Structure 1
Amino acid sequence: MNRILVPVDFSEHSANALEVAAQLAKKTNAEIMVVHMLGISDAVLTKDESQSFMEAKFYMKLAKKRFAEFLDKPYLKDLKITETVQNYTVFTEIGQIAKENGAELIVMGSHGTSGLSEIFVGSNTEKVVRSAEVPVLVIKKQRSDFKMEKVVFAFDFRVESTEAYHRAVNFFSQMKAQLHLVHVNLPGVQFMNTTEIQKDIDGFIRVAHHGELPAHIHVAMVSDYSVEDGVYNYAKKVDADAITITTHGRSGLAHFFKGSIGEDIANHVDLPVMTFKI
């Protein structure tokens, strides 16, 4: 991995993301690109030219000063860091910045507290997840000992997900991570028996791996009352370091995560979540 992009607003949440990015950068010898969305309002930009220039200059100087303070952290020592201030107010631009600068991963902080779907929906993080072509890793709390040795991948084993699946497999191979593909069987109209589920899994493996699953990839079938419950309960069972999902850009995560999330599940939502766009 060559470059990791970290959007920051100088908050505790973005500091948590930066610390995780630093740990990943050390493992992969990557550069970190730190981006601050300055977001000068239209009201400022439409003032007369001289006043607009002076105010923009002031905000830029202020941002650079805050960068100097924000990046003065011991875990960034010996890492290559580039910083940029962009006058964007729309967070969908983050994906474009990543693409233009060759970033292979975006790491973002989040303060989501109401379950996995609520980490993203209606937030700046959700906007980045929808629009970014590169994977997005969402961090909720400080993780000074972050690792990716064991990852749970909530997966539907559909052929349309093959490309995103391969990108995920390649990424986690770089991390030398053990990958657990989890199919959650739900009650009601979505219920499938073991034979039906296994047929879907076998069919996908034939397409994705020519029938032979790599040794570091494991498949599990679990039954639960919601996808969220099944994923979190399995992640807890195997002591996973992170959870991975695929998402469609047009519909965000709503197609995958439906229904309410119990309070006990919300309490475990602090696991890092990584998304790969289909």
Structure 2
Amino acid sequence: MKTILVPYDFSQEAEYAFEFACEMAKRTKNHLKLFHVIELPTPQSFNSMGEAGTFSNESSQIFMIELVEKRKKQMAEFEAKFADKGFSFETKMVFGNPFAGISKEIVDAKADIVIMGSKGSSGLEEVLIGSNTEKVVRNASCPVLTIKSKISPKDIRKVVFASDFNEVPTDVINRLKTSMTIINAELHLVKINTPSIFENTRTSIQKIKSFAEDFELDAASMEVYNSSSEEDGILEYADDINADMIAMATHGRTGFLHLLSGSIAEDVVNAAKRPVWTMKSKK
């Protein structure tokens, strides 16, 4: 892990993510980049957590000038504060759409992981706009760790990796193993059985065992868990074993196909209280 990218919108959730990322950077001695997008005012704007805000034509120009100066000062304060904390640190501020800006920066900075805050979304809000966090999870070429509350890497002792264990991409598992090594947590593998997608336990367990052997994973447990839906099962299993983090691959579908099938990983990111590690499957 060489570059940790933290999209930062000055929300409490973003601060939790930044604090977590700082501890990770101290452990790895890697580069930490704090990235802020100032969204240009429109009649209806959304911040990087997906919340709506309104600007009037008369006040928007003054507001933007004041906001830019305020953010410049805040970013300079970050640079001064973290100039000598045991890891390389920089800030960057751009104008535009938060999701587009974050996506471009992931590529430009060659980010190895994105750590970002999330408030989650549900119901009509999720159907209409989702959140920028959700869009990053769906499209990012590197792992994304979403955080909703204050937590330290040292507090993560149990990680649940949920999958169907059918052709899991090698790149996803290699990146997960890297994160697991840095965090130093035990890994629990789980396959969720649902009424609509049922598989007998013997078959599922054999798949999980083969998966662990193929990727040389030292799993603390391998389980088949029954639930009404995959999303609910993942969350319930994490509750049952008192897991500290959930890890998943996401299919990265967009457009109409995404609306038809949705994404279990994005649903879990929205609903989970725990940190969720995701990476887009390239298959």
Please tell me the TM-score bracket, short chain as reference. Answer: 0.7 to 0.9
Instruction: Give the alignment partner of residue 71 of structure 2, picking from 55, 59, 63.
Output: 63
Show the counterpart of 1:8: 8
8 Å Cα contact 2:37/2:101 also seen in 1: no
Q: Unpaired runs of 5+ in structure 1?
A: 44-53
Show the counterpart of 2:37: 37
Question: What amino acid sits opposite 1:20 in the alignment?
Answer: F
For residues 176 and 135 of structure 1, what CA distance do their matches in structure 2 show?
A: 17
8 Å Cα contact 1:17/1:107 also seen in 2: yes
Secondary structure of 1:103's partner? Answer: coil
Show the counterpart of 2:166: 158
For residues 23 and 173 of structure 1, what CA distance do their matches in structure 2 show?
A: 14
Give the deviation of 1:242 after TM superposition.
0.6
Show the counterpart of 2:279: 276
Instruction: Give the alignment partner of residue 234 of structure 1, picking from 237, 241, 251.
Output: 237
Matched, 1:245 2:245: no
Count of aligned pairs:
253
Deviations 1:163-194 (A, max 9, x none): 3223212331233221111101112x312111
Secondary structure of 2:141's partner? Answer: coil
8 Å Cα contact 2:6/2:21 also seen in 1: yes
Secondary structure of 1:159's partner? Answer: coil
For residues 77 and 206 of structure 2, what CA distance do their matches in structure 1 show?
A: 55
Distance of aligned partners of 1:131 and 1:214 in 2 relative to their CA distance in 1, 3 Å threshold: closer
8 Å Cα contact 2:113/2:144 also seen in 1: yes
8 Å Cα contact 1:92/1:127 also seen in 2: no
8 Å Cα contact 1:7/1:107 also seen in 2: yes
Question: What amino acid sits opposite 1:218 in the alignment?
Answer: S
For residues 240 and 84 of structure 1, what CA distance do their matches in structure 2 show?
A: 34
Instruction: Give the alignment partner of residue 191 of structure 2, picking from 173, 183, 188.
Output: 183
Q: Percent of aligned pairs with the same residue?
A: 35
Give the deviation of 1:114 after TM superposition.
4.7
Secondary structure of 2:190's partner? Answer: strand
For residues 154 and 70 of structure 1, what CA distance do their matches in structure 2 show?
A: 37
8 Å Cα contact 2:6/2:35 also seen in 1: yes
Give the deviation of 1:124 after TM superposition.
0.7
Show the counterpart of 1:103: 111
Secondary structure of 1:66's partner? Answer: helix
Q: Which moved more, 1:164-173 or 1:131-140?
A: 164-173
Secondary structure of 2:179's partner? Answer: helix
8 Å Cα contact 1:10/1:70 also seen in 2: no
Q: Which moved more, 1:241-250 or 1:167-176?
A: 167-176
TM-score (norm 1): 0.77
For residues 205 and 86 of structure 2, what CA distance do their matches in structure 1 show?
A: 48
8 Å Cα contact 1:20/1:146 also seen in 2: no
Deviations 1:82-129 (A, max 9, x none): 0111122141331331222132111111112659xx6xx700101111
For residues 258 and 27 of structure 1, what CA distance do their matches in structure 2 show?
A: 28
Show the counterpart of 1:174: 182
Question: What amino acid sits opposite 1:240 in the alignment?
Answer: A
For residues 266 and 32 of structure 2, what CA distance do their matches in structure 1 show?
A: 35
For residues 257 and 59 of structure 1, what CA distance do their matches in structure 2 show?
A: 35
For residues 146 and 225 of structure 2, what CA distance do their matches in structure 1 show?
A: 25
Secondary structure of 2:208's partner? Answer: helix
Distance of aligned partners of 1:147 and 1:95 in 2 relative to their CA distance in 1, 3 Å threshold: farther
Secondary structure of 1:107's partner? Answer: strand
For residues 77 and 107 of structure 2, what CA distance do their matches in structure 1 show?
A: 27
Deviations 1:193-243 (A, max 9, x none): 11222343345446x33xxx4334532211122222322222223221111
CA-atom RMSD, angstroms?
3.4
